[in-house]
Structure 1
Amino acid sequence: MSQATRILLALVAGIALGIAAVAADRRVALAAVTVTQPIGEAWLHALQMVIVPLIVGLLVTGIAATAEAARAGRIAGRAVALFVVVLWSTTLMSAAVMPLLLDLWPLPQAWSAALRAALTEVPATGKVPTLVDFFNTIVPTNIVAAAAGDAFLPLTVFTLAFAFAITRLEAESRERLVGLFRSITDAMLVIIGWVLKLAPIGIFALAYGVGARTGAAAFGALVHYIVLVSTIGFIVMLAGYGVARFAGAVPLGRFARAVAPAQGIAVSTQSSLASLPAMLKGSEAIGVAPATAGIVLPVAVAIFRATSPAMNLAVALYVAHWLGVAIGPGQLAAGVATAAITTMGSVSLPGTISFFASVAPVAFAMGVPIEALGLLVAVETVPDLFRTVGNVTMDVAVTSVVGRTDANPPRHGEVAAAG
Structure 2
Amino acid sequence: MTISNPIRILIGLILGLLLGIIYSSTNNEFMTFLPGFVTPIGVLWVNAIRMIVIPLLMALLITSIVGRGASVEVAQLGGKTISLFLLLVFFSAMFAYTTVPPLLGFINIDPSASASLIESTDYDTIGINELPTLSDWLVSLIPTNPFAAAVDEAILPLLIFTGLFSMALLRIEKKEREHIVAFFGAIKSSMFVLIGWVMLLAPIGIFALVFPLAANLGISAITMLGSFIVIVCSLISVLMMLLYPLVVTLTDIPLIKFTKTIAPAQAIGFCTRSSLASLPATYAAAAGLGIPEKVTGIVFPFAVTLFKYASPLARTAGTYFVAFLFGIDLSVLELLAIALAIGLLSFYSPGIPSGGLLIMTPVYLSFDLPVEGIGILIAIDLIVDMFLTMANVTANIASSALLAKRF
TM-score by length of 1: 0.56
Residues 230/165 of structure 1: CA separation in 2 closer, same or farther (3 Å cut): farther
Residues 164/265 of structure 1: CA separation in 2 closer, same or farther (3 Å cut): farther
Residues 208/102 of structure 1: CA separation in 2 closer, same or farther (3 Å cut): farther
- State the Cα RMSD in Å: 5.1
Distance 1:27 1:8 in 2: 29
Residues 46/391 of structure 1: CA separation in 2 closer, same or farther (3 Å cut): closer
Deviation at 1:15, TM superposition (A): 0.8
Q: Which blocks of at least 5 consecutive residues in structure 1 are unaligned?
A: 72-76, 111-121, 242-255, 277-296, 339-361, 400-419
> Which of 5, 8, 11 is 2:10 aligned to?
8
Q: Deviations over 1:128-154 (max 9, x none)?
A: 233212211111112222111111111
| Residue 57, structure 1, aligned to residue 59, structure 2 | yes
Q: Deviations over 1:254-284 (max 9, x none)?
A: xx7xx576555864775878888xxxxxxxx
Deviation at 1:21, TM superposition (A): 1.5
| Residue 174, structure 1, aligned to residue 182, structure 2 | no
Q: Which blocks of at least 5 consecutive residues in structure 2 are unaligned?
A: 114-124, 262-284, 320-339, 358-380
Distance 1:318 1:29 in 2: 40
Q: Which residue of 1 aligns with 2:361?
A: none
Distance 1:225 1:181 in 2: 40
Deviation at 1:386, TM superposition (A): 6.8
| Residue 134, structure 1, aligned to residue 137, structure 2 | yes
Number of residue pairs aligned between Structure 1 and Structure 2: 308
Asked whether the equivalents of residues 42 and 209 of structure 2 are also in contact (C-alpha less than 8 Å), the reply is yes
Residues 188/301 of structure 1: CA separation in 2 closer, same or farther (3 Å cut): closer
TM-score by length of 2: 0.57
| Residue 85, structure 1, aligned to residue 75, structure 2 | no
Asked whether the equivalents of residues 59 and 159 of structure 1 are also in contact (C-alpha less than 8 Å), the reply is yes
Greater shift after overlay, 205-214 or 25-34? 25-34
Asked whether the equivalents of residues 151 and 364 of structure 1 are also in contact (C-alpha less than 8 Å), the reply is no
> Which of 194, 198, 202 is 1:195 aligned to?
198
| Residue 228, structure 1, aligned to residue 236, structure 2 | yes
Greater shift after overlay, 201-210 or 128-137? 128-137
Distance 2:36 2:345 in 1: 35
| Residue 313, structure 1, aligned to residue 308, structure 2 | yes
Deviation at 1:319, TM superposition (A): 9.2
Task: Within 5 Å, give how 1:34-183 maps onto structure 2.
Answer: 34-65=36-67, 67-68=68-69, 77=73, 82-98=76-92, 104=100, 124=127, 126-183=129-186
Residues 181/309 of structure 1: CA separation in 2 closer, same or farther (3 Å cut): same
Q: Which amino acid aligns with 1:14?
A: G
Q: Which amino acid aligns with 2:176?
A: S
Residues 383/159 of structure 1: CA separation in 2 closer, same or farther (3 Å cut): closer
Distance 1:134 1:3 in 2: 40
Distance 1:306 1:52 in 2: 13
Residues 3/96 of structure 1: CA separation in 2 closer, same or farther (3 Å cut): same
Deviation at 1:11, TM superposition (A): 0.8
Distance 1:307 1:187 in 2: 18
Distance 1:27 1:59 in 2: 51
Residues 146/185 of structure 1: CA separation in 2 closer, same or farther (3 Å cut): same
Distance 2:253 2:182 in 1: 33
Deviation at 1:298, TM superposition (A): 7.5
Distance 2:293 2:189 in 1: 21
Identity of aligned residues (%): 25
Asked whether the equivalents of residues 234 and 386 of structure 1 are also in contact (C-alpha less than 8 Å), the reply is no
State the secondary structure of the residue aligned to 2:18: helix
